[in-house]
Structure 1
Amino acid sequence: MSDFLRTAFADTTFFPFWLDRKDAPPPTPCLIGATRADLVIIGGGFTGLWAAIQAKETNPSCDVVLLEADRVAHGASGRPGGIVSTSVMHGLGNAQRIFPDDLARLEELGHQNIAGFKETIARHNIDANLEWTGEMTVALSSEGMEMVKKEYDLHHAHGHDVTLLDAQATREQLASPLFVGALWSHKASGIVHPAKLAWGLKQAALSLGVRLYELSPMRRIEDLHDRLCIHTRDGTVTAPRALLCTNAFAAGHKRIRSRVVMIRDRILTTEPLNAEQHQAIGWANRQGIYDTRTQLNYMRLTPDNRILFGGRLGYFMNSPADPALDRTPAPYQRLARAFFQTFPQLEGIRFSHAWSGPIAITTRMAVHFQTYYSGKAVYAGGYSGFGVSASRFGARIGLAKLLQDDIPETHMAFAATEPRWVPPEPLRTLGAYITMNALDNADAKGGWRRSWLALVDRLGFPLS
């Protein structure tokens, strides 16, 4: 490691910034012994919390048990960038790629979802530092600008309040010498404190009568024909229905992982900006931002004015929950270099926190549903980003499929079909290793790396 980076990482805490809070709520007691319920939800992240709330608000008499292996928000939900939008299919461009015939309806459902997201947070008085600041996609090259222009045309055609910015206008919003233009989407998108959101949803669920058991990892599911028995470390829950909200962890049935790959997404946060540093970058409108690098980066400001900068992907064979390597500076060095290339005026700033979080990669890059145990269990997951707000939508559709509610959405292609199969280990690790290398070096070296990424895209993984 260079002296420059050694200084930047000198005082870094390798733990999520969002979760590093003295006011974090204590965990609820773990499940001990046997209990029964009308509905059991496995996974206390965003999808599980939204599902529990919606199930109780729809039917207050329903006895809902929510199981969380660790503590609420300590899986993936306390680790993302925390940028929210109307998209329920990983962005408008991705929705057009996978479900072009349903695009207008998916857009309508996305706007309905974000309205419900806002209304629930307000009704339960959840303080999650929500800022409706809009979002920007910034281009770093002429090729990237062509991508941005296509996104602008697509968003404009579907009624979004968007502005196309040239280099000067982009740098007036956020001063980086790399930026050559941007798409600014002004409405129904912004930034949120993800851990505080999860903790607020936890309190809302408890207030509605949900029985939440944290520190209760699922060991196995037993099919008793007319019901399921969920075995945890210290107890059991028997229920006629189970919603599997395990996303990248793909727990609940061995087949889930044949469609879902866990990728680690790395994030850095700086120390809080002082007044001079903040003036040097601008960012008065505090938008959430994505860029067009092959190894995509995203960035935002935290409530105390740190820069959160994330996006370097990594893969570990057999998908460990807490990779030891990601608690060291090594996997964050490329991300740090990208940060200082983006903001050279911040030379000398230090990184306060560094961490990785699990995201679920599928050939759709978006939420999908799998049904098991003769319809008694449904998996709702596959968020590859945009999950903070889209998880509410996934929970609603997952519940409808599980409870066999005949709503129009369950007959749409996104809900009625699954992503394509993904090869198992060791082919999965080999493919991931080549792909990560290509992502890291395609912009600088090109060659076979771009051809490989094009092949990966054709196979259904548009990672670049």
Structure 2
Amino acid sequence: MPCPAALADTRFHPFWLDRPDMPEALPPLSGVRRADLVVVGGGFTGLWAAIQARETDPDCHVILIEACRIASGASGRPGGIVSTSVMHGLGNAARIFPADISRLETLGQDNIAGFSATLARHAIEADLEWTGEMTVAVSPEGLPLLRHEYDLHRRYGHQVSLLDGPQTRAQIHSPLFQGALWSHRDSGTVHPARLAWGLLRAARELGVEIYETTPMTALEERGSQLEIRLPQGLIRAPKVLLATNAFAAGHPRIRRRVAMLRDRIVTTEPLSAAQKDALGWAGRQGIYDTRTQLNYMRLTPDDRLLFGGRLGYYHNSPRDPQPDRTATPYVPLAAAFFATFPQLEGIRFSHAWSGPIALTTRMAVHFQSYFGGKALYAGGYSGFGITASRFGARVGLARLRGQDLPETRMDFAATEPRWIPPEPLRTLGAALTMRALDGADSKGGWRRPWLKLCGRMGFPLS
């Protein structure tokens, strides 16, 4: 089995963050400060919120604090596939908000246009490739799902193609691929860390004050103001946006509706010319498959193959789980990689890491309001937040400012996902679900009924 050898020299650190051009660390905040708006969290949601707050109101004094380094959390760790959806895909939007799909699709198109315009306006170089995205069936059982998604995408004006097995394998040479849905427009891949660092630069140029290694230790209400307590000081502000996503910091009740899962990724060493020929993939599309333990894949700017999936859960959601800095959790993912691309046997993985996912029963952004509307949590993208985070930040700011927009009155903005059981039930349920996901395709048995039960509770995992 090639998996252990492929992981023998792997660095357990995000590939995206392993760059000499990572920005210099910014100093922490100390002393007592005042602001009109404090953004807690320096990932995509926080950066987008800070930028949009200043662009829509240049007089707004914005301070952004990050507990570690910009992009050190979820934003520097995803696969980097982007699309127009703001609700974790069209199929998920149909599941949770069927009456609002048309409006959500329009908002998604507007959001991707605003995303592109911001990158152009601020000259942000993020290796963005508009190559489209594909969902591939890895068995005949996945083909009806592709047909359903194809009909749904056509109904709402997407430029999509439905490929059979030979057509799919002509695009990407994998013996597993039985068919594909190919979305051609307004989707592709990006370098997530370079995107975050570009947004960081843009925010600072707009006048946002940004402080790293500045964790919030407490958030308290003091009359018309909130006090954000820090290790070396505090900030007073009338409004606070909690852009803490999977970390769910800011109020203990946030975790009642948000669970942190870990999503694992490996990247190969750069492909040789012969390996690239054996792989095909001239279109460089971002790809998702239809496995129960979903895998996704893409090519990096320097022609490595990134392969992700393989969910995990850790009791009490540690920020950086020690087991994910060892080879063991990545062996099953490597096995799936070589089953998908057996022609790459002998290749080694240069990097492996896990990233936090904010899972909710909606699997899409939502908002939670605290302290009489002075603080608002925006998060829960469930792993599809690179472009949707801009949308979440925009709507979150509107709600925080009390703006009456059509979006703020829609169900996604005005309601919350279902409650998720606390520990230890959360750990027990996650352990059963991970076992079910691991064996559902090959072993069946009790696993399919359990996953269907999860779906009825709000988690569509099968």
Structures share fold, TM-score greater than 0.5: yes
Tell me the distance in 1 between the aligned counterparts of 2:65 and 2:105: 32
Q: What is the aligned counterpart of 1:155 among 146, 153, 160?
A: 153
Q: Which residue in the other structure is 2:271 paired with?
A: 273
The equivalent of 1:210 in structure 2 is 208
Cross-structure match for 1:173: 171
- Specify the alignment match of 1:294 in structure 2: 292
Moved over 2 A (4+): none
Aligned to 2:231: 233
Match of 1:305 among 303, 306, 330: 303
How much has 1:385 moved relative to structure 2?
2.0
Q: Distance in 2 between matches of 1:32 and 1:84?
A: 37
Secondary structure of 1:445's partner? coil
Kindly provide the amino acid, as one letter, of the partner of residue 38 in structure 2: V
Q: Distance in 1 between matches of 2:139 and 2:42?
A: 41
> 1:356 matched to which residue of 2?
354
Query: Which of 269, 283, 286 in structure 2 is aligned with 1:285?
Result: 283
- In structure 2, what residue type is equivalent to 1:78? G
AA of the residue aligned to 1:8: A
Code of the residue aligned with 1:119 in structure 2: it is A
After TM superposition, list the pairs within 5 Å mapping 1:42-441 onto structure 2. Answer: 42-441=40-439
Separation in 2, partners of 1:92, 1:158: 9
In the aligned structure 2, how far is the partner of 1:148 from the partner of 1:158? 15
Q: Tell me how far 1:29 sits from its aligned partner.
A: 1.0
Whole-Å separation in 2 of the counterparts to 1:269 and 1:100: 37
What residue in structure 1 maps to residue 21 of structure 2?
23
Inter-partner Cα distance in structure 2 for 1:225 and 1:373: 10
What is the distance in 2 between the residues matched to 1:5 and 1:292?
22
Q: Quote the Cα distance in structure 2 between the aligned partners of 1:428 and 1:66.
A: 32
Q: Distance in 2 between matches of 1:359 and 1:326?
A: 14
Q: CA deviation at 1:233?
A: 1.5
Distance in 2 separating the partners of 1:347 and 1:115: 40
Q: CA RMSD in A?
A: 0.6
1:15-62 residue CA offsets vs partner (Å, 9 max, x unmatched) = 000000011001211101110000000000000000000000000010
Aligned equivalents of 1:353, 1:97: Cα separation in 2: 35
Shift of 1:222: 1.3
Secondary structure in 2 matching 1:145: helix
> Where does the alignment leave 5 or more consecutive residues of structure 2 unmatched?
none
CA contact (8 A) 2:265 2:308 kept: yes
SS in 2 for 1:236: strand
Any conservation in 1 of the 2:132–2:184 contact (CA below 8 Å)? Answer: yes
Pick which of 115-124 and 24-33 moved more: 24-33
- Post-superposition Cα deviations, 1:408-452, rounded to whole Å, max 9, x if no partner, equal 100000000000000000000000000000001111100100110
**Alpha-carbon distance in 2 for matches of 1:129, 1:348:** 28
Give 1:386 deviation, angstroms: 1.6
| Structure 2 equivalent of residue 6 of structure 1 | 4
Counterpart AA for 2:109:
H
- Cα distance, 1:140 vs structure 2: 1.1
Q: Give, in angstroms, the shift of residue 463 of structure 1.
A: 2.3
d(CA) in 2 for partners of 1:259, 1:101: 23
Aligned mates of 2:225, 2:149 — CA distance in 1: 47
| Corresponding residue number in structure 2 for 1:38 | 36
Q: CA deviation at 1:225?
A: 2.0
Determine helix, strand or coil for the equivalent of 1:444. Answer: coil
**1:365 Cα deviation after fit:** 0.2
- Give me the whole-angstrom Cα distance separating, in 1, the residues matched to 2:82 and 2:223: 40
CA contact (8 A) 2:4 2:331 kept: no
Show CA shifts across 1:107-150 (max 9, x none): 00000000000000000000000000000000011210110110
**C-alpha distance in 1 between matches for 2:404 and 2:304:** 46
Q: Structure 1 length as normaliser, TM-score?
A: 0.99
CA distance in 2: counterparts of 1:21 and 1:251, whole angstroms: 28
- Please tell me whether the aligned partners of residues 10 and 349 of structure 2 are also in contact (alpha carbons under 8 angstroms): yes
2: CA distance, partners of 1:394 / 1:165: 33
Can you list the C-alpha shifts for 1:275-327, whole angstroms capped at 9, x where unaligned? 00000010000000000000000000000000000010000000000000000
Distance 2:167 2:341 in 1: 17
Between 205-214 and 224-233, the greater mean CA deviation after superposition: 224-233
How many angstroms apart in 2 are the aligned matches of 1:188 and 1:229?
A: 41
Secondary structure of the 2:217 match is strand
Task: Give per-residue Cα distances to partners, 1:215-269, cap 9 Å, x unaligned.
Answer: 1011010110201000112121100000000000000000000000000000000
* Distance apart, 1:153 and its partner CA: 0.5
Give the TM-score normalised by the residue count of structure 2: 0.99
Is the partner of 1:443 in helix, strand or coil?
A: coil
Residues in 2 aligned to 1:413 and 1:5: alpha-carbon distance in whole angstroms: 46
Q: Cα deviation per residue 1:341-397 (whole Å; 9 max; x = unaligned)?
A: 000000000000000000011000000000001110000000112200000000000
Distance in structure 1 (CA, Å) of the matches to 2:12 and 2:442:
29
Distance in 2 between residues matched to 1:393 and 1:442, nearest whole Å:
34
